[in-house]
Structure 1
């Protein structure tokens, strides 16, 4: 199981790093901060540049934490929240669920993968495992189910204001 969790963390971290780099620096065929800011603003997410900066930094921090397996519930929350917001925004903007039609299917899958880590923890091959003797470490290294549930609920709640803004802008 630990190798599976490591693989999940590494793949998710790589994808989140790539998403952040596309938004913030225009790497990997991305739009960069200025152009992506214009796109966000056109969806009603203003200030566009500030929203891109917040999304990109959330993805970058989540990627770093998940890669290292450090404070994994925090990384999972940042990743799940950012990806649910992205999915809802894409789905409401396009009116479609499926990724091929411009919907939020793919970000939802990434959010689900991040949420899984909120339930399982990062596994043995993580910095979190180094703190397994500390009294507070069970919240991080071997989280209870309520930690995962809290991550899922917080990610869904994070999307509500964005959904309201995008729906209002679409009118």
Structure 2
């Protein structure tokens, strides 16, 4: 379901994306907080993998961890995970191409949960489950009016778009998990 902004007018009488953001509600502020905090934290986590930023081990260390978890070749999967977390997190935080950002996050977190499943919730996968849940919720609600998608022709939210984003995430996660098992 896209947001039709043709009938939305700002206090000055303008129509379009800026006017769509002019009618900001409490829900929009809440979605902005969720998107920015979760998105930037996840993007930071991705840069730990790719570049060793924020105390991360960098690509070589992550490649070793990925290989140890059964993702071969480790370096390829480290790059995929790092790019998915960084790119998906930044898209999510900005509210830009939100279904795609949500799909990147959910697909990556499904793999993170699968890797940590044996450790249990609190010693393993609770953080990945938290990221997955936030991205899934925003896939359904859309990013809100305080987003780069707001009022744009490509803005999409609702059950159909959430299903598409989650289907893409599940499909890519399944392929990755199958490759891990081979």
Structure 1 unmatched runs, 5+: none
CA RMSD in angstroms, aligned pairs only? 1.9
Give TM-score scaled by structure 1 length. 0.82
Query: 4+ residue runs of structure 1 moved beyond 2 angstroms?
Result: 149-166
Which is richer in helix?
A: 1
| TM-score relative to the length of structure 2 | 0.77
Deviation of the 1:97 alpha carbon:
2.1
Unpaired segments of 5 or more residues in structure 2?
A: 1-26
2:78 corresponds to which residue?
A: 52
Mapping of residues 4-153 of structure 1, within 5 Å: 4-91=30-117, 95-100=118-123, 103-131=124-152, 134=153, 137=154, 140-141=155-156, 143-153=157-167
2:142–2:158 Cα contact (<8 Å) kept: no
Whole-Å separation in 2 of the counterparts to 1:144 and 1:116: 10
Based on CA coordinates, which of the two structures has the bigger radius of gyration? 2
